[in-house]
Amino acid sequence: MPVSTSRLEAFSDGVFAIAITLLVLEIRVPAGQGDHLWRALGHEWPSFAGFVVSFVTIGIIWVNHHGLFDSVREVNRPLLFLNLFLLLSVAFIPFTTALMADYLREGQGQDVATAVYAGSLLLMGWGFTALGQYLHRKRPPGYEELSEADRRELVVRSTAGWLVYAVAVAVAFVNAYAGLAICGLVALAYIPGRWLGTPES
């Protein structure tokens, strides 16, 4: 009684869309700031930065998820559970984003909080790489093989992604802002490239 690929994608899209939109609930309205509201909003910059970085990162994973599942015709049990693990890591991001933002604002404990944030992106990167590895190694029934060039690019990019997140975890312990900046740069770096849907390149 297999789950069809289109259903798996629709469910996953739902989780991506909800997680990306829930991020906003973690931004708190500063209370009772009266005439100092501008300054109070400026003080909230970690929430806004976290919102943007997490939003773009989940958006990119959504795009890549489709790239991956476009070549899958049938979903089997391991795929189902690797995918559930990826979704779990994505659904967890609103919490780690809020954690990082709160502690960057307070200016104490921000190293651990940012490391946890980068760690949650690392987890997501692992989830995505595991899905890709499974597909390219096991070649489940209905799997349309990628060209060698496509395959290599996928491996390089997804491995690079989580390696850089691992670096961000380490850097966060030295400087939280630098750790967050690396996470933001990964999102920027993913924007170009073939995996993001250019038909002709």
Residue 51 or 165 with smaller CB distance to its own copies: 51
Burial of 34 (0-12, 13-18, 19+ CB in 10 A): exposed
Tokens of 185: 């740069």
User: Smallest gap, in angstroms, from Cβ of residue 93 to its own copies?
Assistant: 8
Number of residues that bind its own copies (CB under 8 A): 75
Sole window of 5-13, 128-136, 157-165, 168-176 interacting with its own copies (rule: CB under 8 A): 5-13
What SS3 string covers the chain?
CCCEHHHHHHHHHHHHHHHHHHHHHHCCCCCCCHHHHHHHHHHCHHHHHHHHHHHHHHHHHHHHHHHHHCCCCECCHHHHHHHHHHHHHHHHHHHHHHHHHHHHHHCCCHHHHHHHHHHHHHHHHHHHHHHHHHHHHHCCCCCCCCCHHHHHHHHHHHHHHHHHHHHHHHHHHHCHHHHHHHHHHHHHHHCCCHHHCCCCC
Residue 35 or 148 with smaller CB distance to its own copies: 35
91 binds its own copies (CB under 8 A): yes
User: Smallest gap, in angstroms, from Cβ of residue 182 to its own copies?
Assistant: 20
Residue 22 or 167 with smaller CB distance to its own copies: 22
104 binds its own copies (CB under 8 A): no
Draw the binding track, 133-172, toward its own copies (x: CB under 8 A; -: no contact).
--------x--------x----------------------
Sole window of 125-133, 155-163, 168-176, 191-199 interacting with its own copies (rule: CB under 8 A): 191-199
Scan for tokens 């300054």, then name that residue: 39
198 binds its own copies (CB under 8 A): yes
**Subset of 9-68 contacting its own copies (CB under 8 A):** 9-11, 13-25, 27, 29, 31-38, 41, 51-52, 55-56, 59, 62-63, 66-67
Pick from 1, 137, 144, 174 the residue near its own copies by CB under 8 A.
1
